[in-house]
Structure 1
Amino acid sequence: MHVSDKILIVEGKTDKHRIEEVLVEPVHIICTHGTMGISKLDEILEESNGSEVYILTDSDREGRKIRQWFKRHISEGTHVYIDSNYGEVSRCPLDYLAMLLAHHGFYVDERLLMKGKFENEEILRKNRYNQPYSS
């Protein structure tokens, strides 16, 4: 299995578990538990240590507040946005999360990728990040 140097920051444990259902690479997932502060930020910065940082929060008020913390303090982080119709990461369909994360360079279970639903279907089909699930 590919060893990842990515860190994915989410709000809670249910978000983390949902994402783990999609990924086929080991990614360090950090939960903010819905709050942000200087000590939490310092902890995250210490853990990141040169890794690529991705921020994936809910599309609600709390998610936007957490995202703002990262925009202010970790300018090199990549922000991943979910469709506001889902509201929460944990409520996103697995196939949608797979497409979203594959678009950002994560290795995902190719069986979850939606067929014919996006303009870039051909690109995703050839994407090196799409791999069959293996346990």
Structure 2
Amino acid sequence: MIAHETEKVIIVEGLTDKRKIEEILSEEVTIICTNGSLSIHWFDELLETYNLDENDVYIFVDEDKNGLKLRKQLARELPHADHIYISRDYREVATTPYKILASLLVAKHFSVRPTFLY
């Protein structure tokens, strides 16, 4: 029997978040931008395209009103997803210092570029 290897998928709100996380990661990870909202039709398309029910999914959104609303919606649709939380002090993924983001990603077993940990 051949084991199916799952992929890691991170769901973020915006393109700036995606680019910042891509800079930090040293492994291939699919990062999906929701642009702050999630329609049922678009979510169904994402579910199928990225096989979200079978892959390791991480929700990494802002700690503001829109981010919390999106996190709640995604948690309902993807109960198996793991959540990555930033401090409310930073409010947004994009404004969180690289070192903090790298530490949060390492804590979830992502490979990051070592320069972002110091």
Equivalent residue for 2:44, pick from 42, 45, 50: 42
Instruction: Say whether the 8 Å CA contact 1:57–1:89 is kept in structure 2.
Output: yes
Residue identity matched to 2:46: I
Q: Residue 10 of structure 2 corresponds to which residue in structure 1?
A: 8
Instruction: Say whether the 8 Å CA contact 1:4–1:25 is kept in structure 2.
Output: no
Instruction: Say whether the 8 Å CA contact 2:59–2:81 is kept in structure 1.
Output: yes
> Residues 32-54 of structure 1, C-alpha deviation per residue, up to 9 Å, x if partnerless?
00111201221221133221000
Residue identity matched to 2:87: D
Measure the CA separation in 2 of the matches of 1:45 and 1:16: 19
Equivalent residue for 2:63, pick from 59, 62, 65: 59
Is 1:113 matched up with 2:117?
yes
Query: 1 or 2 for the larger relative contact order (CA 8 Å, sep ≥6)?
Result: 2
Q: Unpaired segments of 5 or more residues in structure 1?
A: 115-135
> Residues 10-53 of structure 1, C-alpha deviation per residue, up to 9 Å, x if partnerless?
00000001101100011100000011120122122113322100
What is the Cα deviation at residue 113 of structure 1? Answer: 1.2
> Residues 59-91 of structure 1, C-alpha deviation per residue, up to 9 Å, x if partnerless?
000001110111111100111110111110000
Output aligned runs, 1:1-135, within 5 Å: 5-49=7-51, 50-114=54-118
3-state secondary structure, aligned to 1:54? strand
RMSD between superposed Cα atoms in Å: 1.5
Structure 1 segments of 4 or more deviating over 4 A? none
Give the number of the structure whose alpha-carbon radius of gyration is greater.
Answer: 1
What is the Cα deviation at residue 4 of structure 1? Answer: 7.4
Instruction: Say whether the 8 Å CA contact 2:6–2:56 is kept in structure 1.
Output: no
Measure the CA separation in 1 of the matches of 2:103 and 2:71: 21
Measure the CA separation in 2 of the matches of 1:67 and 1:16: 16
